[in-house]
Structure 1
Amino acid sequence: MLGRQAQRGKTSNKRITGMITNLDEIDPNLVAALFYGPEDDVDTLLADFAQNLARQGARVGGIIQRDLKNANGTTTMLALDVATGHEISICQPLGSGSTSCRLDTHGLADAAAVVTRAINENVDLLVINKFSKQEASGQGLRAEFATAITRGVPLLTAVPKKCLADWRTFTGDVGTLLLCERQVVEGWWRAIAGRMAHRRSFNPRVGHLGTIIPDSLITAERVSPTLKPGSSIGLIRRKRP
């Protein structure tokens, strides 16, 4: 979940490594990751999308990231509780003259608690800002990712290109990769949310969605009409081996 300017703290207190033990039972449509590069503003995309869903009445939980540029050239990284807007500082300055920061373990614990609460509340959509170096190394919010996926909570996150192989290893290559474009994310969500009322009409105790993306959406060469020329696909579904 750390931003690009964060460095790993020098500490021996590592968080428990999360493991996904029920890969054969996971619906790949419920595990969606935005595939992004340095040129993509993935934090703004996730924030705007989550806020828009909340305004429409969806129960959205989890965290998004906001980076604030300070007058001295440093960056303050915040994790925002999607449900409440509460801000959590997740980095500590490295000292005078440094423009980087390192992980604030107390802030991380607070962010993990926000994600855990959302999982336990069976939100319609859980947003975790990214699966990055910390999670790839077994730290960060890896345990919370594993819990959400194992329980079948609809999950939307982001994965930088440099961590894609780690993400696939972590998820057993089960999940859905989305291009980092708003219309692509909205198309994925509509395919899931469109079944909510129908599913709950048969089982009102269902706490989250657990639906299937139509093949017509999965196989479409272009989900968004605004994709750049040469873009081969708008959505990539990773199936179980």
Structure 2
Amino acid sequence: MTNHTIDTPILAGVVFRTKQPVDAAIEAARIALTDRGVRVDGVRQDRVHDPETGRQTLIVRDLRDTWSLPILEPRGDAATGCRLDPHAIADLSVRLDTLFDPSPDLLLVNRFGRAESEERGLRDVFEKAALNHIPLLVAVREDYVESWQSFHGGMGTELPMDCDAILAWWDRLSIASAAE
């Protein structure tokens, strides 16, 4: 991809509220884009049952279904606060870094959240995508929209949690890329 202007933002955050099915909207868009021949790579987030604890936990899976990675620390029922495992996120960052050669048409990453708003987490992956002009699609919970906007500094946009809105963003981006 070539350099994009603010009119055609290469970073898109799908804004959602807690417990809204943002992953389903992004997955529907991913399938539609893949069906169009767009090379989409990255990870998606899934809730799965952990047989050891009997609780739901979060994993990320690569879009090729070749690996999955638990991203929450198993801290027990009495634990409070963020359970995001920083070691798992560091591992995920390294795995995502391998996707830049060759670059996908679109990089899909599960979340821009608390860790990224605190300048940690997968922020380096998002920065690398922006610096390499690789379009990025990421879910952004409404609590972190301000941090997302500060991060992208005009190179990004916010989208509603809607497959058609995601596809329309991609179409605008593709038209702008073809014109450059």
Shift of 1:181: 0.8
- Number of the residue aligned with 1:139: 120
Q: Identify which of structures 1 and 2 has the higher relative contact order when contacts are C-alpha pairs closer than 8 Å and 6+ apart.
A: 2
Contact 1:60-1:83 within 8 A present in 2 as well: no
- Number of the residue aligned with 1:42: 22
Unaligned residue ranges in structure 2 (runs of 5+): none
Q: Does 1:161 align with 2:145?
A: no
Is the partner of 1:122 in helix, strand or coil?
coil
Larger helix share, 1 or 2: 2
Shift of 1:65: 0.7
Structure showing greater radius of gyration is 1
Within the candidate set 62, 73, 88, 2:42 is matched to: 62
What TM-score do the two structures reach when normalised by structure 2? 0.82
Per-residue CA distance 1:10-55 (angstroms, 9 max, x = gap): xxxxxxxxxxxxxxx6533211111211252112222232234334
Contact 1:62-1:114 within 8 A present in 2 as well: no
Is the partner of 1:77 in helix, strand or coil?
strand
Contact 1:123-1:153 within 8 A present in 2 as well: yes
5 Å-filtered alignment, 1:146-185, equals 146-185=127-166
Per-residue CA distance 1:80-131 (angstroms, 9 max, x = gap): 1113452111112112555887223332233212321222321100011111
Shift of 1:147: 1.1
Aligned residues: 175
Contact 2:10-2:155 within 8 A present in 1 as well: no
The 1-side partners of 2:18 and 2:130 are apart by: 26
Within the candidate set 189, 196, 205, 2:170 is matched to: 189
Q: In the alignment, residue 36 of structure 1 is paired with which amino acid?
A: F
Per-residue CA distance 1:118-175 (angstroms, 9 max, x = gap): 2232110001111100001111101111111122111111211111111111122432
Cα distance change on mapping 1:98 and 1:172 into 2, 3 Å: same
The 2-side partners of 1:130 and 1:74 are apart by: 21
Q: In the alignment, residue 145 of structure 2 is paired with which amino acid?
A: L
Please say which of residues 121-130 and 63-72 is displaced more in the overlay.
Answer: 63-72
The 2-side partners of 1:76 and 1:154 are apart by: 29
Cα distance change on mapping 1:160 and 1:56 into 2, 3 Å: same
Contact 1:63-1:111 within 8 A present in 2 as well: no
Give the aligned CA root-mean-square deviation in angstroms: 2.6
Cα distance change on mapping 1:84 and 1:69 into 2, 3 Å: closer
The 1-side partners of 2:155 and 2:40 are apart by: 23
> Alignment identity in percent?
27
